[in-house]
Amino acid sequence: MPRPAPLPQNTLAGIGWMLLTGLCFVAVNVIVKAVGTALPAPEAAFLRFVAGLILLSPVLLRLPGAGFSSRAWGLFAARGLFHTLAVMSWFFAMARIPLAEATAMSYMSPVYVTLGAALFLGESLAARRLFAVAAALAGVVIILRPGFRDLSPGHYAQLLATLSFAGSFLVAKRLSSEASPSAIIAMLSVSVTIGLAPFALAVWVPPTPAQIAWLGLVAVFATAGHYCMARAFAVAPISVTQPVTFLQIIWAVLFGALLFGEPVDIWVILGGAIIIAAISFIAWRESILRRRRTSSVEALRP
C-alpha cells in the first residue's frame, strides 16, 4: 500500500503565521489592559465571550445535530468550569499587573499541562522533561521574586488563571476523542458564556458603546490568533514555531512601556526566556517521539 504524501513543511511561512499569532494575542492583552478596571472582570469577560458566540454562529448552528455522548457533555461542563475561572482570573490580572509579567507568566500553561498529563492522564514524564519543567518553574520564581518584592492580588490571579487554563487544556485532550475540533471550540464558548453570566450579573455595570466595541475587538483578535496558530502548526514543525512565541514578551514590554508607562524589568524578560526555552525543549522532544512512533507504525505496515 503506498504511503500518503506528507504535508509540505515551510519554515518561513510557519514563522510568519506564528508572528501574526503573537501580534494578535498581544493586541488582546493591550485592549483588555486599556479597558482596565472600568468594568468588573466577570462582566468584561462575559461581553468578550458573547461577541465570540456571534463570530462562531455558523458552527453553533450545526451543534444540535452533533449527537454528543453523555461522557462528552460531562467533559464539556468540566472544561467550561475550568475556563470560566481562568478567564475571570485573567481579566482581573491583566488590569492590575504589567503586560510583560502577565505575558511571561501565561507561558506556564503548557508546562502545567505536561505535569497534569503525567499526574492525571498517565503520560510518562522522563527525566529530561522533568528537568525542563523544573527550569520553567524557576523562571516563574525569577519573574515573581517572592520575598524580594510585594506581590499583588493580580499576580495571584494570573497564577490561578494559568493553572485553570491548563486544566481546561487537559480536559480538551480527553474531548479530542469525543468531538470534532470545531465542536469543542464552539461548546467552550457556549459553556463559558453560561458560566460567566451569573458572575457578570452580580457585579453588572452598564457598559458604554465604546467598551462593548473594544471587547468585541478582543474576540476578533483572539479568534484570529487561534487561526494563525493553527496555520503555523500546519505548515511548520512545532520545534520551529514554538521559540517565536518568545517575541510576545518583547512586544508586551514595548507596548507596556509606550502605552502604559510600565518600567522595563529585566528579571521578567529573563524569567520568560527560561520558560520559553523549557517549553521549546519539551515541544522538540515530543516532536521527536511522535516521529519515532509514526516511523515504527509505518515500518509495521505491509
- Percent of the chain past pLDDT 70, that is, above it, reads 89
Band (pLDDT 50/70/90 cuts) for residue 206 is: very high
Band (pLDDT 50/70/90 cuts) for residue 137 is: confident
* pLDDT of amino acid 292: 60
Write out 38-89 in H/E/C secondary structure: CCCHHHHHHHHHHHHHHHCHHHHCCHHHCCCCHHHHHHHHHHHHHHHHHHHH
Residue 2 lies in a domain: no
- As for how many domains the chain has, the answer is 1
Residue 273 lies in a domain: yes
pLDDT tens digits, one per residue of 72-82: 899 999 999 99
pTM to 2 decimal places: 0.82
What angle separates helix 209-235 from helix 11-35, to the nearest 10 degrees?
160
Q: Give me the domain span that covers residue 30.
A: 11-300
* pLDDT of amino acid 2: 46
Residue 132 lies in a domain: yes
Band (pLDDT 50/70/90 cuts) for residue 287 is: low
Average pLDDT over residues 230-234: 80
- Are 187 and 78 in contact, with CB atoms under 8 Å apart? no
Identify each DSSP E strand in 174-238 by its residue range. none
Band (pLDDT 50/70/90 cuts) for residue 275 is: confident
Band (pLDDT 50/70/90 cuts) for residue 213 is: very high
Separation in Å, CA 102 to CA 64, 73, 81, 143? 37, 32, 22, 10
Residue 1 lies in a domain: no
Residue 6 lies in a domain: no
* pLDDT of amino acid 4: 43
* pLDDT of amino acid 226: 81
pLDDT tens digits, one per residue of 81-122: 999 999 999 999 999 999 989 988 888 887 888 888 878 777
pLDDT tens digits, one per residue of 176-192: 888 887 788 888 889 99
Check pLDDT > 80 for residue 295.
no
Produce one character per residue of 209-232: b if its CB has 16 or more CB atoms within 10 Å, e if not.
eebeebbbebbbbbbbbeebbebb
Chain centre to alpha carbon of residue 182: 17
Residue 3 lies in a domain: no
Average pLDDT over residues 283-300: 57
- Are 283 and 238 in contact, with CB atoms under 8 Å apart? yes
Min mean pLDDT across 21-35, 194-208, 226-240, 278-292 is at 278-292
Residue 251 lies in a domain: yes
Residue 166 lies in a domain: yes
Band (pLDDT 50/70/90 cuts) for residue 296 is: very low
